Amino acid sequence: MNVTIQDLARRERQILQIVINQGKATAAEVHERLPDSPSYSTVRKVLSILEAKGHIKHTEKNRRYVYMPTQSKRAARSTALKHLMDSLFENSAESVISTLMDISAAKMSDDDLDRLAEIIERHRQERQ
């Protein structure tokens, strides 16, 4: 099944985000971390749904299922950002970066800005 993260229900996205951020988690660990947590059986059901949709997989350890994402945190971020860029920023990387700079500039150190400048320069050189 080819369902994107953006196609998931709110609770499915919350649970998937917990599994991605943790790297691996049991149903009990997910249940503990959920805001306004539903019942434990609901969490287990949603984990099963996410597995059927191909977003997570599980292994068994000490008679418990341990869930892990099927894609890396970096890949999940890229997919989510690509969707956001396409839907809200008219596929403009410049608009995304400009907006990020506007909302986080006060928190960025000179070192952060220097690293960003290096990334931009590296990409400029790779194009040539």
State the CATH class of domain 5-69: mainly alpha
The rounded distance, in Å, linking the Cα atoms of 18 and 68 is 10
Q: What is the pTM of this model?
A: 0.72
pLDDT at residue 21, rounded to an integer: 92
The rounded distance, in Å, linking the Cα atoms of 48 and 30 is 13
Domain boundaries of the chain, sorted by first residue: 5-69, 91-128
- List average pLDDT for each run of 10 residues in the chain, which is 128 residues long: 74 94 96 92 97 95 95 87 89 90 82 91 92
